[in-house]
Structure 1
């Protein structure tokens, strides 16, 4: 089984519920996607609403991956850069693969779909790079390196996971052109 990817899917209740469920499952499995376990879907809902508002305003785009049952199994949100001197790159946020699908190569499939959409997707004509940040101490920076991203910066102890547990905020970049 492989995942099928769609850029800018129609946003309906099933998609919203699927993304929230995915986000909660990834967070509660220890994924570094903005929350520390335990977290409930209701706690995640405001963060998703911010993404959805960005989508409605045109500054945020969603790449969703669905499994063979049509369930939301992976996501990546792109945010355009509003600064007039930085419109040639996009931010990548909330990159997730459901825990039950991890270890099967779907994460690299997602990152390949992210890159393909940014290289060829409508509205991405002038995008030359993708930037993302990730939480240090999780090993996810090595995953992004396997997907072609290079570490270009690091802010020590910028993320406080718990008292006495501070992590670096790692900035990574993928050049497209």
Structure 2
């Protein structure tokens, strides 16, 4: 069953809890979404509150994919660049698909919905994203049309002695 995507859904308590559960489940399954497992929802809550505050203020946009039962199954955050010379592209970050839905094409659907949402934003010509090296995630993004445009070796310290590259990818929209 396909996901139903909504850009900027109402920030309800139900959505908040769905996002919190998704983020914790993705992290604990080994997803590279800003935390290192194991986590509990309370570990993530401060970052989610900060991120949703940015959405509420209009500095970021939230794309949510719901499964057939209405549960939050996938998300991506899109944020505008504040630098006046870089307002023609946006960042996409905290891209997540629930582990129970991986392998169903939901990640590809999420990235297509992200690109479609970005194309509707006035003046946006490209999407940039970063990912953690050492996991092969960049190959997935490349299969969605993104091109690697930069890499900072060892920029992400997952644990002492476990440094990963910070990989920047770009998807031109025009």
Secondary structure of 2:15's match? helix
Secondary structure of 2:151's match? strand
Corresponding residue pairs, total: 174
Instruction: Tell me whether 1:79 sits opposite 2:83 in the alignment.
Output: no
Instruction: Structure 1: state its 5+ residue gaps.
Output: none
Instruction: Tell me whether 1:116 sits opposite 2:116 in the alignment.
Output: yes
Deviation at 1:57, TM superposition (A): 1.5
State the partner residue of 1:67: 67
Distance, in Å, in 1 between the alignment partners of 2:82 and 2:50 is: 16
Secondary structure of 1:53's match? helix
Distance, in Å, in 2 between the alignment partners of 1:158 and 1:40 is: 25
Distance, in Å, in 1 between the alignment partners of 2:53 and 2:68 is: 29
Aligned residue among 129, 143, 165 for 1:146: 143
Distance, in Å, in 2 between the alignment partners of 1:86 and 1:32 is: 26
Distance, in Å, in 2 between the alignment partners of 1:50 and 1:130 is: 22
Q: Over the residues paired in the alignment, what is the CA RMSD in angstroms? A: 0.5
Instruction: Structure 2: state its 5+ residue gaps.
Output: none
Distance, in Å, in 2 between the alignment partners of 1:161 and 1:127 is: 32
Deviation at 1:49, TM superposition (A): 1.0
Secondary structure of 2:6's match? strand
Secondary structure of 1:96's match? strand
State the partner residue of 1:162: 159
Deviation at 1:50, TM superposition (A): 1.3
Secondary structure of 1:169's match? strand
**TM, length-normalised to structure 1:** 0.97
State the partner residue of 2:127: 130
Distance, in Å, in 1 between the alignment partners of 2:105 and 2:12 is: 28
Instruction: Tell me whether 1:16 sits opposite 2:16 in the alignment.
Output: yes
**TM, length-normalised to structure 2:** 0.99
Secondary structure of 2:25's match? helix
